Amino acid sequence: MALLPVADALERLLESAAPAGTERVGLDEASGRVLGTPLHALRTQPPFDASAMDGYAVIAQDIADLPARLAVIGEAAAGRQFAGKIARGQAVRIFTGAPVPAGADTVVIQENVRDLGNCEVEVVEPTAPGRNIRLKGLDFSEGDLILDAGRLMDPAALSLAAAANHPTLEVQRAPLVAIIATGDELLPPGSSPGPDQIISSNAYGVAAIARSVGARVLDLGIAADKTGSISALVRQALDAEAEVIVTLGGASVGDHDLVHGVLTGLGMKLDFWKIAMRPGKPLMFGRLGDTRCIGLPGNPVASLICSHLFLKPVLAKLGGRPYAPDIREAVLGAPMKENDLRQDYVRGVVRKTDAGLVAVPFGVQDSSMLRTLADANCVIIREPFAGAAESGTGCLVLMLR
């Protein structure tokens, strides 16, 4: 099977991916979710002309000539309005958020007023008519469109929805990704490995990448290198109605690489297997009914880089979430050798300088080395058959953090 270019593989992964529907959740569950329908205000904000400052509500004509003495006839506070009406020569002590009394058209801030005692004040600094008043509906009015469908519910959007009197929201259903690690050699963290065993690590990073675009994660643990063991966990994923099943390892061509056979035996239609990239060549993709099956390489770095490149955009699209990889222009801070037929993703560090971004690749790029991936803040993208490049040559980098 010929190696598939990275761009073609991504296009095929994303083909026909669409949100799986909406669900209604409370505001306390809506953080980070994607709004499924347009949101209109259920009330007007502010619901009345409100004072924007602590001070005195007055009639502008009364303070046209200064100093101006006014009789204080009452008080208005947030949640406790002044019930009467202001006449000429009168003022009402008012606090931020309080309704502006009938008859008043201006609020003079308290710093510009001198208290004379005996319910009298003197305005000593000019204030323009209409100042320090938030007019009714300044923020929004009942029926206004306040948030479009597709909006990520960040803190400001959540607060706006609450202010508009929405206790619940219709949001895109978060896609479920089921993760299955495979391998007789794997043990969970905290175990005491034997001489031929290692600790399973990939699932934690893959799950974190999935959650970063709002997906739900079902970690089904480790399957032994046995057809029945792998098949049982795949069936669990299908029973849970996972939109995506991710397998870790076992998707290559070795005698103990059983994932491909298990999935095709359950009815998966293979779309592609093997990509022209490094690391991550043995990535597999197929469809088992409506469920997408992604077989990630077992090598930790390959598994995580493939998750950034392929799993992340697929899950974002399934969740109705806008997503674009953070790819930036930089220059190389060290020379690089010529490349072969595979697109290379070289771990490195990008630093900001006065001249722009400088990307320095790490010297050793073995796909088992998680520490260099943890130290990297980018991968340098090397196109297939790219020639040798000297320091200062322009390049593209995919930012990881």
The verdict on whether omega for the bond into residue 126 sits within 30 degrees of 0, i.e. cis, is no
Q: What average pLDDT does range 358-379 have in this prediction? A: 94
Give me the CATH topology for the region 327-399. Beta-clip (2.40.340)
340 three-state secondary structure: coil
Per-residue confidence band for 255, with pLDDT thresholds at 50, 70 and 90: low
Which residue type, as a one-letter code, is found at position 223? A
Task: Identify whether the C-beta of residue 246 lies closer than 8 Å to the C-beta of residue 239.
Answer: no
Average pLDDT, the chain: 94
Q: What are phi and psi of 27, to 5 degrees?
A: -55, -35
For the segment 3-14, what is each residue's pLDDT rounded down to a tens digit? Answer: 899 999 999 999
CATH number of 50-134: 2.170.190.11
Q: What is the pLDDT of residue 1?
A: 60
Query: Biggest alpha carbon distance in the chain?
Result: 97
Any residues with CB less than 8 A from the CB of 326 and at least 6 apart, and which?
398, 399
Report the b/e string of 98-125 with b at 16+ CB within 10 A. bbbbebbbbbbbbebbeeeeeeebebee
Is residue 253 pLDDT above 60, yes or no? no
Any residues with CB less than 8 A from the CB of 151 and at least 6 apart, and which?
34, 35, 39, 157
For the segment 311-356, what is each residue's pLDDT rounded down to a tens digit? Answer: 999 999 999 998 999 999 999 999 999 999 999 999 999 999 998 9
Is residue 254 pLDDT above 60, yes or no? no
Q: pTM of the prediction?
A: 0.86
Domain 22-45+139-172 is of which CATH architecture? Alpha-Beta Complex (3.90)
Report the C-alpha gap between 283 and 310 in whole angstroms: 10
Domain ranges of the chain: 6-20+174-318, 22-45+139-172, 50-134, 327-399
Is residue 252 pLDDT above 80, yes or no? no
196 vs 160, residue with greater confidence: 160
Is residue 250 pLDDT above 80, yes or no? no
> Domain 6-20+174-318 maps to which CATH number in 3.40.980.10, 2.60.40.420, 3.30.1490.390, 1.10.40.60?
3.40.980.10
For the segment 16-74, what is each residue's pLDDT rounded down to a tens digit? Answer: 899 989 999 999 999 999 999 999 999 999 999 999 999 999 999 999 999 999 999 99
